Amino acid sequence: MSDLKRGLSEAVEAAFADLGLPPGLGRVTASDRPDLADFQANGALAAAKRVGRNPREIATAVAERLAGDPRLMAVEVAGPGFINFKLTDQALSGRAQAIADDPRLGAETLVQPRRVLVDYGGPNVAKPMHVGHLRASIIGEAIKRLYRFRGDIVLGDAHFGDWGYQMGLLIGAVMDESPAIADAVERLNAGEAADAKAFDTVSLADLDRLYPESAARGKDDAAYRDRARKITAGLQARRPGYYALWQRFHDVTRVALERDFHALGVDFDLWKGESDVDPLIEPMVAELDAKGLLALDQGARIIRVVREGDKKELPPLLVVSSEGSAMYGTTDLATILDRKQTFGPDLVIYCVDQRQADHFEIVFRAAYLAGYAQEGQLQHVGFGTMNGTDGKPFKTREGGVLKLADMIEMTREKARERLHEAGLGEDLPADEFEDIAGKVAVAALKFADLQNFRGTSYVFDLDRFTSFEGKTGPYLLYQAVRVKSLLRRAQAEGAQAGPISVAEPAERELVLTLDAFETALAEAYDRQAPNAVAEHAYRLSQAFSKFYAACPILQAEPAVRASRLALARTTLAQLEQALDVLGIAVPERM
């Protein structure tokens, strides 16, 4: 059963067609004045311009054709030609019951599912994640979940930055600091037996400390830089000592990354990195050359991607540097080829900062020229920045980059404080309280981000985000927990949900909001914009709050009580499903 808006749209479109008018003009939308009508259609005005007729005459003719529709209590023409629709209580009751009985709670599935890969996260080996990774992780996870819930076959890939010059710098720096490690690396490189246990002493904190030091020295010290490049070449040639030490970097970083991602409710299907496609690069370059796509430019080999009609000239893709090394874009191109060979996606979504738009446009064009993907198969879903109160990308008070683990703990501490302020969870066991605080913290961070259209930037305001009042994640959790508490009380009293019968205005508003779930999901899917689902979750919570205040539930007479319990249970299920799409988990109690 389709949602009410679509079903009504089909009827209005048929009425327009009967009048010889384009049926697309019969599109129905939610009413701008819910106090006057449930839905409206404004297409008579556009139709009048096309055929030179009075819009009110067209609107009246459409209304006459719909006058006998059993779903409609009233069809009225207003103003210059707006058509307002009011649904019957029976139509709303039937739709509410259908949603309640539907395992998907009114959400439809795609007619033609696709194979989709979402590339997000983008952490680097040897560096802890920082707040710059937050939006990619939150938005990418929501898009993955959204596409999967709609019916697509979806894989999420963290796409490690784990190969290249920075690895050579770090290997050299670690060897300089530890003679035991340097000895083991050199012995392994020489094909000799060596005790690699020394590698186990390397921690992520060591790498985090050494990375900026070695990068700075590499800029000023030519000999140091040249050594790092030679080590990089040796690593990419899989020399045993370099590769074994690099594997330690890789493993110790992944443990920390999985911890931080999991704390955010973010989990990947694939943990592939740039290193995974390194074996593909040499044959890929040969293939690109054979296809005539490579051109020489000052000793480097490039692919020109400029197209006739471009509003701005894009630089070429640098495939092989004048020194003979593969570049960042080369790895991205090889990754596209790898995904084609191993997964065969219909769509690859790159959830990466909007500032990388030109880079991805260059890589995508090169991939289309090479035949590694079809036009439109690769999409960059960009996003704005999370800013501080100064309007610039968020920093610590000292001006440094805040580590993601520190931000999560900072938000969790604020969540604990908020729970204590509200007197919530104080009687619960300590471990359950901590679990709730973690869920509140994640809800605060995620909803603060996802309530905005991804392309916009927003200001990080921890006090506002963690409030249990207003348009926040904690508010939504509190509303869901309140419904759970109500249902537990009903069960204790032996009250059960029953057939839904809608009569009161607050019940009607709640059912109309439940009915809008599919519309929100479809909009979010089509625009790759999870904020539509976030907005639906908030509206649903508000509608339930009004219903709860206006319509007594446990005190009502049995039939009404059963109906309202069914509405409460359905609201909770749909709210939890919407929040799950956003990657937000709801506790059982507070």
- 3-state SS, 236-284, equals HCCCHHHHHHHHHHHHHHHHHHHHHHHHCCCCCCECCEHHHHHHHHHHH
CA angle 13, 149, 354 (to 5 degrees): 90
**SS3 state at 39:** strand
pLDDT at 403: 84
Does a structural domain hold residue 446?
yes
* pLDDT above 80: residue 128: no
**Do 431 and 548 have their domain in common?**
yes
* pLDDT above 90: residue 11: yes
**Do 177 and 60 have their domain in common?**
no
**Do 428 and 566 have their domain in common?**
yes
Does a structural domain hold residue 365?
no
**Do 51 and 194 have their domain in common?**
no
CA distance 367 to 374: 8
**Do 81 and 228 have their domain in common?**
no
Does a structural domain hold residue 358?
no
Of 87, 106, 126, the domain-final residue: 87
* pLDDT above 90: residue 392: no
**Beta pairing, strands 115-119 & 153-157:** parallel
Domain range holding 257? 165-263
Does a structural domain hold residue 216?
yes
**Do 459 and 551 have their domain in common?**
yes
Please give the tally of structural domains in the chain: 3
CA distance 212 to 222: 17
Does a structural domain hold residue 536?
yes
Of 246, 263, 280, the domain-final residue: 263
CB 337 within 8 A of CB 372: yes
**Do 73 and 184 have their domain in common?**
no
Does a structural domain hold residue 361?
no
Instruction: Give pTM, 2 decimals.
Output: 0.92
CATH number for the domain spanning 16: value is 3.30.1360.70
- 58 closest CA partner among 38, 82, 36: 82
Structure tokens at 303: 């692919």
CA distance 505 to 414: 38
Q: What is the band of 529 on the pLDDT scale with cuts at 50, 70, 90?
A: very high
Mean pLDDT, residues 409-419 taken together: 95
Structure tokens at 512: 């109309």
CA angle 39, 44, 48 (to 5 degrees): 170
Does a structural domain hold residue 545?
yes
Does a structural domain hold residue 486?
yes
Structure tokens at 519: 């519309």
Per-residue pLDDT reduced to its tens digit, 476-486:
999 999 999 99
% of the chain residues with pLDDT over 70: 99
CB 348 within 8 A of CB 336: yes
CATH number for the domain spanning 559: value is 1.10.730.10
Per-residue pLDDT reduced to its tens digit, 147-156:
999 999 999 9
Mean pLDDT, residues 268-282 taken together: 93
